[in-house]
Chains A and B, each alone.
Chain A
Amino acid sequence: MDTFLALMNGMAIAVQPHNLLFALIGVMLGTAVGVLPGIGPALTVALLLPVTYKLDPGGSLIMFAGIYYGGMYGGSTTAILINTPGESASMATALEGNKMAKAGRGGPALATAAIGSFVAGTFATIGLAFLAPWLVDIALKFGPEDYFALMCVAFVTVSATFGASPVRGLTSLFIGLALGLVGIDKLTGQARLTFGIPELLDGIEITTLAVGLFAIGEALYVAARRHLEEDKVEAIRGSLWMTAQDWKRSWAPWLRGTLFGFPIGALPAGGAEIPTFLSYSVEKRLTKHPEEFGRGAIEGVAGPEAANNASAAGTLVPLLTLGLPTSATAAMMLAGFQQYGFNPGPLLFAEKPELVWGLIASLFIANTMLLVLNLPLVGLWVRLLSIPRPWLYGGILVFAVTGTIAAKPSAVELTMLGAFGLLGFLMRRFDYPIAPVVVGLILGPIAEAQLRRALQISLGDPMVLVESPMSATLLAIAFVALVAPYALKGLRKMGATED
């Protein structure tokens, strides 16, 4: 009941005209960048951070959340119309959606994606609203050792468990952790890894890292392999409306997708890939039209799209209640909170209820706006795809450096931006995941602070980490998550030799 009341209060804040405006700007921007290849919601939030730090915090955060949701919508449009999914979570959508578009059923594909996203986003946001207070109650009892253990879980799951290769994910994470060491140690005032460069004393800016890795790294990567492939945009032919048959085939996949997406997104596990692929394979098994799969089955668009959006809402659960970002976009949103001096977590719910609940309530509004705006405007979004690539990337680079110049106009900062861009290029080329670097930079210093606080209270006794039942359990989970991929691989090998 308290939750309901808090949500109503939040709604009263979210419908204030200026907050509505921020939500509208957010979903429009989010959709636009989601549609454009090469820039995702994480980068957009990163680009906007330096620009918005003088604006109203509540409104800016509402805008960031709108970008997050909008990016998911836009990504599916690109996946359906040009078979190059903007993010890996849209891969499943591209499988069936692009086939539908080629067969002249692009309209219904876009419609089921949009309505499915709305259904999933709404249910998942309700889930968020009711799960959050409950998690906050638990989190309030956490000691520093429990937080440290929780971050270990996040580190492992974000980098090792679900990536293609745990070694690569962990390498990315440790590069991020190493970058997080740079600067003055807050407890003793000693400078670490600054090499006498005064600009480094404050540490490495999250936005510089994120913009370098995402914007410049992506531009370098796309430019360097431009000669290899050419995109082809499918025109939307036929009606945008779904037939009665389409509705009948879509509603169950929407709900099942939500059930996959939300819990997996809410676990500190990161990534929307798992639930989307789970949903895809389940729909493939349950469908009455198995012959259509691989040739444009509407279930294969409806389910994964719902899963994708539900998991995006799910990642907001650990972000808001525990301060744990489990995806690149969530990491950038955490940076957004920090820019205004807020630390997401249980205390924020107590200290700034209007901010948190206003944000949660605005998610419902953003979701509705997306449904209303996107279907009629889909032609407009598609026209964005016709911006010539040279100008598009030229523009991306201009905005990337402008943000950095406005925040910290120094040669050191801009050189770092370029260096991170090169790092991003190399990581893409050698198939290292990017998100763990950003998560490592943000969470590394927090994890260190919690660890040192825990050991200070225990007078240096490391046993404190395993004596708290919560911390012991979490560390055990982290350990299992770290070795599980190897153990599973070993089992599979054994099974294979027996055959």
Chain B
Amino acid sequence: MQSDQQHHVDYAGLAIGVGLLLLAAIIGFDTANLELSPTYGVGPKAMPIIVGSGLALLALANRVLAWRGGFPQRETFDAAALLLILGGLAALIGIIMLGGGFIPAIAVLFATTSAAFGRRAFITDLVIGLVLGFVVYLLFSKLLSLGLPTGPLERLM
């Protein structure tokens, strides 16, 4: 008898249902603002309506899943590692947008990711990242002729 298993409410699971419902609502609002097209058949609204309704239904189904304890037991996780990588990514975006150039941005991302995986040698990794960024920059801009963002460092080359 499976229904006798203890019910513990999985709040994270419930949040997934809410998130999906939110996504469905966004699609609904966006579709409501589209103009009707004069073409035969179905216009640009049909697919969003199908997808939105599907998501709403799935939100419900996921809620049921959460109530039944259908999600796997989660292990503890290292939030600091997560923040280090995402922080490195944010720093990369910041450096590139502020004109700092590709190579320093890559160095920071490399060093923070490495730190997230447990290395305690930030400065060394920053230097390795600089070298890696330099090599990748040369490879992309010179060999593959793909443009990468430039900063003071890149303009020296």
Contacts and interface: CB of A to CB of B under 8 A. Distances in A.
B135 to A, nearest CB: 10
Given A188-B43, A224-B81, A454-B41, 16 more contacts: A50-B146, A165-B70, A171-B58, A174-B54, A187-B44, A192-B30, A223-B81, A223-B82, A224-B79, A390-B113, A414-B89, A414-B92, A430-B16, A430-B71, A456-B40, A459-B40
Interface in B133-151: 133, 136, 140, 144-149
A64 B76 CA distance: 37
Interface stretch (A326-334, A335-343, A373-381, A401-409): A401-409
Contacts of B58: 167, 170-171, 174
Nearest to B43: A188
A460 B114 CA distance: 57
Question: Interface SS of chain A: helix, strand, loop or mixed?
Answer: helix
A181 B48 contact: yes
Contacts of A188: 37, 39, 43-44
Contacts of B65: 165, 167-168
A422 interface: yes
B115 A390 contact: yes
Most buried by A among B12, B54, B85, B149: B85
Given A192-B34, A418-B90, A460-B40, A398 B146 contact: no
Given A391-B128, A401-B89, A405-B96, A181 B47 contact: yes
B42 A452 contact: yes
Interface string A414-428: 110110011001000
Contacts of A460: 40-42
Greatest chain B CB density within 10 A among A174, A192, A226 is at A174
B119 A226 contact: no
A489 to B, nearest CB: 11
Interface string A101-113: 0000000000000
A181 B132 CA distance: 37
| List of 7 A-B pairs having minimum Cβ-Cβ separation, nearest first | A455-B41, A390-B117, A390-B114, A223-B81, A185-B44, A224-B77, A390-B119
16 contacts: A174-B51, A177-B51, A187-B39, A195-B30, A219-B113, A390-B113, A390-B119, A395-B110, A397-B89, A397-B110, A401-B92, A402-B106, A405-B96, A406-B147, A451-B47, A455-B42
A467 interface: no
Nearest to A392: B117
A394 B106 CA distance: 10
Interface of B: 12-13, 16, 20, 23, 26-27, 30-31, 34-35, 37, 39-44, 46-48, 51-52, 54-55, 58, 61-62, 65, 70-72, 74-79, 81-82, 84-86, 88-90, 92-93, 96-97, 102, 106, 109-111, 113-119, 125, 128-129, 132-133, 136, 140, 144-149
A458 interface: yes
A219 B78 CA distance: 13
Contacts of B41: 452, 454-456, 458-460
Given A397-B110, A401-B89, A405-B102, A223 B146 contact: no
A190 interface: yes
Contact of B27 (A171, A178, A401): A178
Name, among A54, A175, A224, A389, the residue most crowded by chain B CB atoms within 10 Å (CB to CB): A224
A51 interface: yes
Contacts of B118: 226, 389-390
Contacts of A17: none
A472 interface: no
Given A165-B70, A193-B30, A425-B82, A405 B44 contact: no
A220 B85 contact: yes
Interface string A349-371: 00000000000000000000000
Contact of B117 (A223, A414, A431): A223
A224 B78 contact: yes
A458 B79 CA distance: 55
A286 B37 CA distance: 62
Interface of A: 50-51, 54, 165, 167-168, 170-171, 174-175, 177-178, 181, 185, 187-188, 190, 192-193, 195, 216, 219-220, 222-228, 388-391, 393-395, 397-399, 401-402, 405-406, 409, 411, 414-415, 417-418, 421-422, 425, 429-431, 444, 448, 451-452, 454-456, 458-460
A325 to B, nearest CB: 19
Q: Which of B26, B90, B92 has the most CB of A within 10 A?
A: B92
Given A390-B114, A415-B93, A190 B140 contact: no
B8 to A, nearest CB: 16
Q: Which of A170, A178, A399 has the most CB of B within 10 A?
A: A178
Nearest to B81: A223
Contacts of A388: 119
A430 B102 CA distance: 35
Contact of B132 (A195, A398, A417): A398
A188 B51 CA distance: 19
Contacts of A448: 46-47
A432 B96 CA distance: 33
B132 A395 contact: yes
A458 to B, nearest CB: 7
A220 B86 CA distance: 8
A192 B47 CA distance: 11
Contact of A405 (B16, B20, B75, B148): B148
A33 to B, nearest CB: 17
Contacts of B40: 455-456, 459-460
Contacts of A401: 89, 92, 106, 109
